[in-house]
Structure 1
């Protein structure tokens, strides 16, 4: 985490005066240089006197009308040399009403707000509560100064910095020790003494009695040669890892042997993961070199019980739960635990490590779904919104409005402004895929808006605003109104004039039929002319509002609601919507390819190809169960895809895809395509499976490559399950490649945790085959006969050496 002390940029104090209205009393440490009346009215929302306490959220430096201009420029670390663009500030505001019969109107209303560059603003609620109490007791600017200093003294210097892939893994994992080695590394780095052992060593070799852990992480050089891979691969991998960590690799670490001992993968023993955790990018050796006891022939018992797998091993010494043990100070690695010292009170703070910049506050998709899943929809039908005609689910209609750039208002009459703000932030997460897939929502979101600056925020294209004044319902300046209290969703009667269905520019180009899926007149033409399925009569009538009760979107929402009713948590609901938005983007990529002949937001569509004299190529792009299903799905989504393509979000998506290709750790093929086929396709060619596994073995070696792969196979989708199918493939070459891939994952603590999530049958198959292959390598070394390379060992599963009793 950055060592910046600028966790709080400003502290504001507003009060309601019976004669002058909302007034901004204090701005600390300096005036913001913007409209004070605007700030005061945002801090004191309409109807604040009806609620004893309320929280609101708004943004600064978001649009020209709310951009601040302080006299002294804010010091933003790392901003030197960058564009002169103001940093977005997130404002958390607490307003409180205290009834007092001695004052006019019988109540005192005050509000205090902090402006921070951090989107996880919810962590500052405890200290803001104390500060406002302090101000009510002794109203002075000193209260603001104390709050400002307390927040900026919060220490986040030891907080781990996670990559995108690591965040994706963490947010989908329920394990409270995921990436705990990150905390170990940061703690060791912060407290490292001169001459002491730093965490930049290539491996950690702490005394352990697990010979299996040592052997399975670093297989022998002869075993690699037996697979027919060049021995230089090992040195290249070792040198790349060493280069990543700035330290050479010890030669002895590549010559350890395999034996079936007390495996963390098999028996679920996780105590060594923390004690022997290596820093990111470093292969960890969980066993000591002196404990290697590889057999010369045969193999040990592979009984399914955990006790037998560690038979003959010495008792593992207990882990000293001292200050060096991260588990003694880290209860949940999803958060960085720190404190804020406010007037002698040590307030515990849990900073989330897995959030993305487009996720603001502690929003709830479950609350949003429960509120609007049974909402009554009124108003005209529009192709961008009603992707399933009159049977479009309210949540899907809301999503369509969000991604196609419609103006949306959340109305909460007589509701706390904080509740309305929460719905706006939840809607932004819904449309963006929790800030992971799409961008451009927070920039046009106004969690709380009022009449004061109505003209300014209504002029923002595709705004998403939360209001409490019912006058906005009759204003007519919105496309979709979501009534929080009344359970209504109203489509504007003027939506067709505001967002016409067609935007024909010039004459239509010639028809393009790339895959026989879709033909269209123009990429921005009328939706009436889009999406003709190949093979149908051109004269066949088509309705833009075809409604199906069992449409894919309706089935998806039913699954979500069922999960909520069965008390599944927010984590799963968010993960499912991330997948939904991700599939929408991949579907849009396929649509662009069909209509325009090319796409700039995804991999081009293609299937596995092989033939005599032709180099085999893996498929890419979105996958459908069959061509007819793909045609129907593309057709059903054509209108809303066209609406999305006209927005700034589409241009951002193009930029993001370009950057992802340049910065991806795994390059050269579409990993998501291969994983989907392994998970869902019933009949795959052996050659395709072999090429998929071989490509992954070659492409997944470093820590960044491992985390990128694991981020695409979250636990709720089975984790390593689709890859584990290779352990039971009829071709031995596929089984060997799967063992190699799992062994490479096993080199890192996060890979161990994913392997532990497999069931006992799958883990047993991995351990058994890895051990048997190691035994064959030892026997071949002793006899002087080398094992045949993997490509020439295509023994069917029922005739493999494992089943014939060899090894």
Structure 2
């Protein structure tokens, strides 16, 4: 993460003039090279004078009409807006805009409407709200360009040099855990004043001894901790932070006669100096004020600003609020398709979407657009290509430009857009109604499903790869049939509504949407394979193949289903939207991302999600269980591999499903499970998640690990390593004798 500088690229100020309308008054440090009327209208939305304060968001560098062309050459250090392009597209700029109406009887018409905005490359634009509020207050007191200069310098002086830069797997893992000490070892000590990059955490070897002295009892934080590599493990209870509680599990002497200790991993000690490792805490100094800033470390580019999926689901909650013709791309469950599923289908099939908020603040409309982008992308973790075609606040002034963008996602407040009919799906945030365009069947003529998906028949060539045991639970989380067409979507919405009703937080709902989009992508991969014979967005679908006759066993991969009938039913129900998805920009991005992941992922040649679902749902053979655990062990040798494994295991049920291997009837499976947990224990993050095992599982792990350690020591004593002998010349022998070789 960079230190000071490059956080703010431009600062803009617009003012509403009684005679001339919205006017862009200042651009700092230089003009952007965009039509000033476009910027002013974007900063001063319709009805802004009716709101005391309103936050809006819009983007630059999306299309030719809003791509910046600075008058002066940009400094080479400004990486946010220079021509560091992917293809020919410059980096996207996020604009956070604060609109304020201030009343004063001494002013003309008794009020002023001003808008102050900052342009940044960071998607977590919400962190700049405090300093933007203070800067606009400052401008009302002293209306000059100096206020913009102070804001620009203050934001760019924000020091993020100590913020760790997390990998994709680390971000995914951070989202699944509420522990406030996760990745604490990656934070630099606060005394480090220079801008040196974060020092990577020391990796401990799993071969370190279990033996270390001390007294087992309550841990430093009141949490019983499974130790790191050079410490001992005991079956102790897990308590919440701040509660001192002694272990209620087996005593340490019953497992280790020497009374070995349980100590926290060295990296955990850093957590005491960090409030919450999900955020990097820093400050912005504006004038004489030190404003605290919490920068989220788990944000992906496709999720911008503050958004709420819970608010989105609560508003569009009933299929009865949907009107208009049915389209197979959108209505995957016929008339009973939930509005949220319609929104998702519209996003992934490239439909033109409008969120209309008549007499609603423009900031509220913007939030719904950002939430929709996050929904379609799996909260930024699965798909991309939505933010680049999103216009959180759009108006009539540049209607022709943003309507020319294919599959745009726009937020508007003017009700005239409903009559214009240049959209495919309209979501009315004032009423909760969803309207499908009357011309959608003409704009997107329905095409028949691919051959074979209209019936239960299946070709013999593909049948062999579709068969799995009847006892397997499918990846939709259910093994039961339902009378409705799209069983998985119905169950998903029921889960989301239940989570909201039981007051689960926003993060829990986001995790469920990420899981849903992940499953959609895996289903799309299977569909491509059935239609074209191959797939470029996922692993090929194949069952487990046992070895024999000189062949090694081969693990399965791809999405799992109950049986052939369930597979074909699911593909038939989703074939239209899957076919629509195959022709979108998001699909092309997904192909590129999957190819890149195959190169850069540390776990290679193994569909870990498939193996996890096999362990969780299937009645598998001893051979397959052994091969799965051995493969996981071989792909968990390094810190990066351990994090990637945990990032896929933890969201799907945690380490509990792997811990069942500790009780397998075959010794080889138990041994490999212990070896896998030992390797996880060698990393700070692995220690934290091993703590989530229950009493019974932890005691079994300790017992088996100790037995394994004793057996290895006994073997070393029984068969000591042979002494290497070699012939020495007189000179070399004398030299080695002097150096202590003898």
Which range, TM-score by smaller chain? 0.7 to 0.9
- Aligned 8 A contact 1:260 1:309 in 2: no
2:302 alignment partner in structure 1 = 358
1:337 to 263, 281, 286: 281
What secondary structure does 2:587 align onto? helix
Contact 2:486-2:570 at 8 Å conserved across structures: no
The answer to whether residue 655 in structure 2 is matched with residue 720 in structure 1 is yes
Deviation (angstroms), 1:664 = 1.0
Tell whether 2:712 aligns with 1:769: no
Which residue in 2 is equivalent to 1:13? 13
Tell me which of 123, 127, 132 is aligned to 2:127: 123
Structure 2 equivalent of residue 686 of structure 1: 622
* Alpha-carbon distance, 1:432 to partner: 0.7
> Alignment partner for residue 571 of structure 1, among 494, 507, 519?
507
Question: 1:622-658: per-residue Cα shift (whole Å, max 9, x none)?
Answer: 1112222112111111110011111111111111111
Shift of 1:262: 7.1
Residues 490 and 268 of structure 1, relative CA distance in 2, 3 Å threshold: farther
1:81 CA drift (Å): 7.5
Q: Which residue is 2:41 aligned to?
A: 41
Summarize the Cα distance change of 1:334–1:719 in structure 2 as closer, same or farther, 3 Å threshold: same
**Aligned partners of 1:139 and 1:341: how far apart in 2?**
20
Measured after TM superposition, the shift of residue 760 of structure 1 is 1.1
What is the distance in 2 between the residues matched to 1:183 and 1:157?
10
The CA distance in 1 between the partners of 2:677 and 2:706, in whole Å, is 13
Quote the Cα distance in structure 2 between the aligned partners of 1:730 and 1:74. 67
Q: Post-superposition shift, 1:570?
A: 1.0
1:589-668 equivalences under 5 Å are: 589-613=525-549, 614-668=551-605
Among 159, 167, 170, the alignment partner of 1:166 is: 170
The residue number in structure 2 matching 1:24 is 24
Q: Contact 2:83–2:90 (CA<8 Å) still a contact in 1? A: no
Q: Separation in 2 of the partners of 1:496 and 1:550?
A: 21
- Structure 2 CA distance, aligned partners of 1:203 and 1:492? 57
1:498 Cα deviation from its structure 2 partner:
1.0
- Cα contact 2:351–2:407 (8 A) shared by 1: yes
**CA shift for structure 1 position 572:** 1.1
In structure 2, the residue matched to 1:533 is none
- Inter-partner Cα distance in structure 2 for 1:24 and 1:547: 58
Alignment correspondent of 1:223: none
Determine whether 1:379 maps to 2:383: no
Distance 2:36 2:521 in 1: 42
1:158-195, Cα deviation, whole Å (9 max, x unpaired): 11010111111011110000000001479769599xxx
Give the equivalent residue in structure 1 for 2:250.
304
CA distance in 2, matches of 1:320, 1:427: 42
Residues 1:450 and 2:454 aligned together: no
Equivalent position SS for 1:304: coil
Indicate which of 240, 253, 258 corresponds to 2:210. 258
3-state SS, counterpart of residue 546 of structure 2: strand
Structure 1 residue 275: Cα displacement: 14
Q: Given that residues 29 and 145 in structure 1 are in contact (C-alpha distance below 8 angstroms), is that contact kept between their aligned partners in structure 2?
A: yes
Residue 212 of structure 1: aligned partner: none
Q: What CA distance in whole angstroms lies between the structure 2 residues aligned with 1:313 and 1:583? A: 47
TM score, norm. by length of structure 2 = 0.85
1:96 and 2:88 aligned: no
| Aligned counterpart for 1:738 among listed residues 659, 662, 673 | 673
Mean Cα deviation higher: 607-616 or 618-627? 607-616
**Do the aligned partners of residues 185 and 344 (structure 1) sit closer, same or farther apart at CA in structure 2, a change above 3 Å counting?**
closer
1:700-746 Cα distance to aligned partner (Å, 9 max, x none): 1001110000000225x321112111111110100000000000010
What is the root-mean-square deviation in Å for CA atoms of aligned residues?
Answer: 3.3
Q: What does residue range 393-432 of structure 1 map to in structure 2 within 5 Å?
A: 393-432=338-377
What is the Cα deviation at residue 327 of structure 1? 3.5
Alignment match, 1:241: none
Out of 136, 143, 146, the position equivalent to 2:147 is 143
* Contact 1:160-1:186 within 8 A present in 2 as well: no
Q: Which runs of 5+ in 2 are unaligned?
A: 233-246, 451-457, 467-481, 722-742
Corresponding residue for 1:55?
55
Shift of the alpha carbon at 1:331?
A: 0.4
Provide the rounded CA distance (Å) in 1 between the counterparts of 2:530 and 2:215: 50
Match of 1:107 among 104, 107, 111: 111
Q: Which residue of 455, 458, 462 corresponds with 1:515?
A: 462
Q: Give yes or no for the alignment of 1:558 onto 2:488.
A: no
**TM-score after normalising by structure 1:** 0.79
Structure-2 separation of matches of 1:454 and 1:133: 32
Shift of 1:80: 8.3
Q: CA deviation at 1:100?
A: 2.5
The answer for the alignment partner of 2:182 in structure 1 is 178
Q: Which moved more, 1:465-474 or 1:301-310?
A: 301-310
**CA shift for structure 1 position 496:** 0.7
Check whether the contact 2:225–2:262 (CA below 8 A) recurs between aligned residues: no
Deviations 1:348-386 (A, max 9, x none): 000000011111001111111111123600000000000
